[in-house]
A and B are shown apart, each in its own frame.
Chain A
């Protein structure tokens, strides 16, 4: 069964450092998303991406965050200057159709620890 692949599974970084989280969505999917889950809290939407541009973003997704689809297969989330409160599980997801038409497929996540 096709799956969304995320690397690395766990990343430790120092506060203030830049970090890039990588995702390979399912190959025929057109919509891409990032979510995060702080330990013990809800899964929260960060951003959606379609046709090489951001289609929707949350208030969490401030100027410290950016997304990119650098080639035909990867989708990345960059955090420019990490803060302690950025520590969370980050989930990438993708969907063939607009998400409301059937939900989407999540990856297993990258656990980001900022120290």
Chain B
């Protein structure tokens, strides 16, 4: 079983839709969860960071963590064409330095 699993998509939705992106993980030692956005031929850009179960909101973005189910989500409200990118989930064990990434989901928002 892969440590972090993420559906690579592609996912295509109309502008204004709510987008739901998800990752599952197998290692219960993961304590820190992040979502990165990556545009083509660019480095990952940190969107959201959380370390506890529950929801964290930042503007149109909401990160959700369910440690009991080993499942994390990113919701994008009122999606815009500029949100079109690859979204990567990433996780880290406390005290470690290594980020473990998911495969990334390629998202396209159609005007």
Chain A residues packing against B (C-beta within 8 Å): 4, 31, 33, 35, 41-45, 48, 50, 55-56, 58, 89, 91, 93, 98-100, 102-109, 111
Contact = CB atoms under 8 A, between A and B. Distances in A.
Contact of A44 (B31, B49, B96, B101): B101
A43 B44 contact: yes
Contacts of A100: 31-32, 51, 92-97
A108 B43 contact: yes
B92 to A, nearest CB: 5
Interface string B24-43: 00000001101010000111
B102 A42 contact: yes
A109 B43 CA distance: 6
Contacts, number: 66
Contact of A42 (B49, B97, B101): B101
Contacts of B46: 103-105
Nearest to B34: A103
A43 B101 contact: yes
Contacts of A107: 43
A87 to B, nearest CB: 15
Interface string B86-110: 0010101111111111111000000
B7 interface: no
B66 interface: no
Interface of B: 31-32, 34, 36, 41-46, 49, 51, 88, 90, 92-104
B42 to A, nearest CB: 5
Contacts of B99: 35, 43, 45, 99, 103-104
A93 B88 CA distance: 16
A53 to B, nearest CB: 12
B43 to A, nearest CB: 3
A31 B97 contact: yes
